[in-house]
Amino acid sequence: MKHNIDEKWQLSHMRLRTNRAEMQPAEMDAHYICDSCGEEIVVPVDVTEGLHQDYVEDCPVCCNPMVLHVDIAEDGQPLIKSKHE
C-alpha cells in the first residue's frame, strides 16, 4: 500500500511520541456489526499500514465476505465501516 507524504508524517508522528503514555500500539482492535448475521465483530487493525485502509474479510460467524473501510482518526483510534462485498 502506498502512503502519501502527509500520511507518512502523521504515522511517524504517532509512533515517535516521547511520552510513553501517549504512544499508540501498532495494532489496535476495531469493531463492526456484520450486515448478514448482526454479530459484533472485533478485528485487529495495523495502524502502520496507513491512515486509510480497505480490505475484504470474511465474517468469522457467518462466513460472508465483508468490505472493511478503516480510517485512523487524529487521536490514533481506528474507525471502521463495513458493507457486503
Whole-model pTM: value is: 0.65
Q: How far is CA 20 from the centre of its chain?
A: 21
Q: How confident is the model over 21-62, as pLDDT tens digits?
A: 455 567 889 999 999 999 999 999 988 888 999 999 999 999
Q: Edge-to-edge strands of the sheet including 65-72?
A: 52-58, 65-72, 78-84
Task: Show the cell assigned to 30.
Answer: 476495531
| Domain around 33 | 5-84
- Longest CA span, the chain: 43
Pairing of strands 27-33, 40-46: antiparallel
How many domains does one find in the chain?
1
